[in-house]
Amino acid sequence: MKIKILKENFPGEMPTGPSLGQPGGLKTPMPERKRKIMALIEVVGSKLDKLQNYTGVYTYVTAQWNNLQLQPKYRVNQYGEHFRQYGPDGKELLHTMEETAANLAQRISNTIVDRQKFKKQFDKVISQCVEVTKILEEVNQYLILIETLELDKDLALHVKKHIYKDRSIKFDYAGTMISRLFNYGDYLAASGLAIKFLAIFLSPDLGEPSVGQAIKDTAESFGENFKSLWVMMSEEMVASGDYLSKRTEFIEAIEPEILKYMMKVGHPVSLYDLRNEGFYEEMIKKHPIVGGAELKGLGGAKVMLRKALKTLIDKGYIVQDDPSENSRGMMTTFIINPEMAQQSGEEYFPKPEGIMESKKMKVRILKEATGEQKRQQKKANWDTRDKLRKQTKVKIRRAQKKASSQFKSERPDYDPIKDLGKDLKDRHKDLQVYANGEEIEE
């Protein structure tokens, strides 16, 4: 079956081998086999694109069969009163899905006033459902074939690009835009169920009930095959190491990036700044997530950034610039915690060995820091600055002792501010240092 499908679409020379169901080794080189698999993937993508032309497969009538809840069973006494029935174990007795769908079809058929008008309108639904079913029957075979082939990283990305790309399918009564096709089979299956039972109660106006059953079966198969291939493709992409599998991994990845960004810009940063000024878009490209298309929008960005900021606040790395503002506000600004600036820098941007021995020790010191430790740290910082200031003064004196210029108005070549900036840059290579309005380069 696999070879037959490929030959029908690609009548040229075919690859052989155990992976394609034929004995022997590959008679054609691997690039040729890979090219034909990619071409098959593109064929599947083009067929799925056609689904955008059939928006009438799901209407107000068929929507009533979507997410159908099983109805309870009732008994009627001699006075016409209805009472729910319960089994010997005390549990409520429910109708089967078939019985529930049949009862719904019977109620709807009893409310139809003009059967000819209803038939004319509903025939359009049946016609579009049949056309879509023909497309999905072919696509189902291809999806199974692609899943049985061994996909590498390049083929997995090709599948994601053509089969799982965003599409614009709008059903008036779905309540949402069907863009990824993961739930498309559920909507079509509901229409198939409606066609089947309405055809029974409105026979012979709507044709054979078997048509509806075929539509339902094909739709359910498509849903299973579509999701199954997605799982296999996602595993391959995660295994390659280029994609993250969970949203929590993405949040952990962008936490140090947020700290770097805040240190780089040098001013308070808000959630709005991170989302709308290019930072989040860069992070999505740098740390892609399998199935993270919904995170690319403004709503998804707000959720992920808000969680990352909350985590950094809980760890003590950042604080609100104005504590009186709402911490969840879009324009609420944050700064690096002045008391934790050095520790947070060591946590995410390691300094030379000897400052701290391990990450666990760093975290413990952050959590158990006392007021005395903070004062000692501040004193150490001042001692370092004082030592640096003395060294700078010595350099200035040495520079002044150089041979004086023959022109009294000529200034010495030594620039103390710029030299001090270079010293700071040498000690802290991850900081941006400016002297006289110019950035000091390494």
DSSP 296: S
- What is the model's pLDDT at position 142? 93
As a whole number of angstroms, the distance between CA 218 and CA 192 comes to: 9
Average pLDDT over residues 75-83: 88
- Decide: residue 324, CB within 10 A, 0-12 exposed, 13-18 middle, 19+ buried: exposed
Pairing relationship of beta strands 333-336 and 269-270 according to DSSP bridges: antiparallel
Answer with the residue of higher pLDDT: 284 or 383. 284
Pairing relationship of beta strands 177-178 and 438-439 according to DSSP bridges: unpaired
Q: Is it the case that residue 433 has pLDDT exceeding 70? A: no
Query: Poorest-confidence range of 15-19, 100-104, 332-336?
Result: 15-19
pLDDT per residue as tens digits for the range 174-190:
877 777 888 899 999 99
- What is the model's pLDDT at position 45? 94
- What is the model's pLDDT at position 351? 45
pLDDT per residue as tens digits for the range 235-288:
877 776 777 777 788 888 888 888 888 888 888 888 888 888 888 888 888 877
Average pLDDT over residues 409-427: 64
Residue pair 265/333 in contact by the 8 Å Cβ criterion? no
Task: Give the pLDDT band of residue 390 (cuts 50, 70, 90).
Answer: confident
Q: Write down the domain spans for the chain.
A: 2-239, 247-337, 370-439
* Mean per-residue pLDDT of the chain: 78
Residue pair 251/280 in contact by the 8 Å Cβ criterion? no
Answer with the residue of higher pLDDT: 23 or 246. 246
As a whole number of angstroms, the distance between CA 252 and CA 307 comes to: 10
Average pLDDT over residues 421-429: 73
- What is the model's pLDDT at position 13? 46
- What is the model's pLDDT at position 343? 52
Closest CA to 348 of 226, 408, 232, 258: 258
As a whole number of angstroms, the distance between CA 72 and CA 266 comes to: 65
Give the rounded percent of residues in the chain with a pLDDT score beyond 70: 75
Average pLDDT over residues 348-372: 49
Q: Is it the case that residue 128 has pLDDT exceeding 90? A: yes
Alpha-carbon distances of 218 from 27, 185, 215, rounded to whole Å? 36, 8, 5
Query: Poorest-confidence range of 26-30, 59-63, 279-283?
Result: 26-30
Q: Is it the case that residue 125 has pLDDT exceeding 90? A: yes
**Is the domain 247-337 a CATH 1.20.120 member?**
no
Residue pair 215/206 in contact by the 8 Å Cβ criterion? no
Whether a cis peptide bond, with omega within 30° of 0, leads into 204 is yes
| CA 264 to the chain's CA centroid | 27
